[in-house]
A and B are shown apart, each in its own frame.
Chain A
Amino acid sequence: MNFLNLLAADPAETHHWLLPETAEIIYGGIASVIVIGALAKFALPQFKKFFAARTERIQKELDASANDLAQAQADASKIRTALGDIASEKARLMADAQAQADALLKDGRARLASEVADMEAKADADIAAAAARGSDELRTEIGRLAGVATDRALASVLDDATQQQLIENFIAKVGAGR
C-alpha cells in the first residue's frame, strides 16, 4: 500500500488511517530490533573503536604538542642562557682586549719615551763630542799655526851671527862638560 492509497482510504474503515497495520507494526518492530541489534553488535564496536583511536590520536597529538612546547620552552631557555653567556663572553673578551690594548699602549708609550730619552741623550753626547772634537781640532790647528809662525819668526830672528853664537856656545858647553 502506497501513501496515495492511504490518503484516499476512507477514514471510516476499521483500521485507523494514521496507524499502520498491527502486523506491519510487529514486522516493523522486529525488523527494527534486528537492525538495531545488528547495528549494536556490529557497528557500535567499530564506532567505539574508531572514536577510541581518534581520542588516542588526539591525545597523542596533544601530548606531542605539550612535549614540543616543553622542548621549545627548554630550547628557548637554553638560547636565552646561551645569549646571556655570549653577552658575558663578549663583555669579557672586550674587557681583555681593552686591557691588552691599554697594556700595549702603556708599553708603547714607555718604550717611546725611553727611546726619545736615549736619542736625546745620544744627541746631547754627539753634540758635546762634536763640540769637544771641534775644540780639540781648533786647539791643534792653533798650535800648528803657532808652531809654523814661531818657526818663521825664529828663522828671521836667527841671523848668521846668532847661529854662530849658538854653535860656539854649544862647543863651549860640551867642551866644559866633563
Chain B
Amino acid sequence: MSDARIDGYARALFEIAHAEGTLDEVEDELFRFARSFESNDQLRNTLTDELIPAEKRQAVVESLLGGKATATTTQLIGMVVGSGRGRDLPAIIDKLVQRASSAKQLEVAEVRSAVALSADQQARLKAALANATGKQLNLKVVVDPSVLGGLVATVGDTVIDGSVRSRLDNVKSRL
C-alpha cells in the first residue's frame, strides 16, 4: 500500500478515536495489537488471507478482542481487516501512534521487554528516557520474549539496547 493510503487510514482511525474521546486508550490497544500481529504468524496469515471472507476475518478480530479491548479498537481493527488492508495494519497503527503523539507534542518511545513492566517501572523508565533524550515521550511497552532479559528502547532513530539478547549476540559474533 502507498504511504498516502496508509496515512489516509491512520488519519481516519485517529479522527474516529479522537472523536470518541478514547484516543489514548485506543492508541495503546492498537499499538499492542500491532506488535502481536507482527509476532504471530498464524494471526497474521488469518487476517491477511484474501480467500477468507471479510466477515469471518472480522469475526476473528471480534473473538480475539471482544471484552478485552474497547469497542472502538475492535471496530477499527475490524474495519481495516475487512477492507483487505490487514497486511498494512502495523504500518497504519504506527502512523496513528505517531500522529497521536505529535498531536500531544510527544515522541514515541518503543520499549521491548522480556517481561511486563509495572506502572512504576514504566513511569521511571519514561522519565529516564526523557532525561536521556531531552524529549517528552509517549511510552509504548512491548513484551517480547526474544529480548531474553533487560530492555531495548527506541526513540526516533536512537536505539538504547540493554538487552541480554544483544549481549549474547555480541558474544556470539566475537566467538
Contacts and interface: CB of A to CB of B under 8 A. Distances in A.
Interface of A: 143, 146-147, 150-151, 154-155, 158, 160, 162-164, 166-175, 177-178
Interface of B: 113-115, 117, 121, 124-125, 127-129, 131-132, 134, 148-151, 153, 160, 162, 164, 168, 172, 175
Nearest to A147: B172
Given A158-B148, A163-B149, A167-B151, A174 B117 contact: no
A37 B168 CA distance: 162
A151 B162 contact: no
Contacts of B114: 158, 163
B127 A175 contact: yes
Contacts, number: 68
Q: Chain A: interface secondary structure?
A: helix
Given A174-B160, A175-B131, A177-B132, A151 B153 contact: no
20 contacts: A150-B168, A154-B148, A154-B149, A158-B149, A160-B115, A162-B149, A163-B115, A163-B149, A166-B150, A167-B125, A167-B151, A169-B150, A170-B125, A170-B151, A170-B162, A171-B128, A174-B153, A177-B128, A177-B132, A178-B131
A140 to B, nearest CB: 12
B44 to A, nearest CB: 23
Contacts of A150: 168
Contact of A143 (B115, B149, B172): B172
Contacts of B115: 160, 163-164, 167
B150 to A, nearest CB: 4
A169 B128 CA distance: 12
A118 B76 CA distance: 68
A174 B149 contact: no
A158 B113 CA distance: 13
A167 B151 CA distance: 6
Contacts of B117: 167
A150 B170 CA distance: 13
Contact of B125 (A155, A164, A171): A171
A155 B165 CA distance: 11
A166 to B, nearest CB: 4
Contacts of B172: 143, 146-147
B127 to A, nearest CB: 7
A125 B114 CA distance: 48
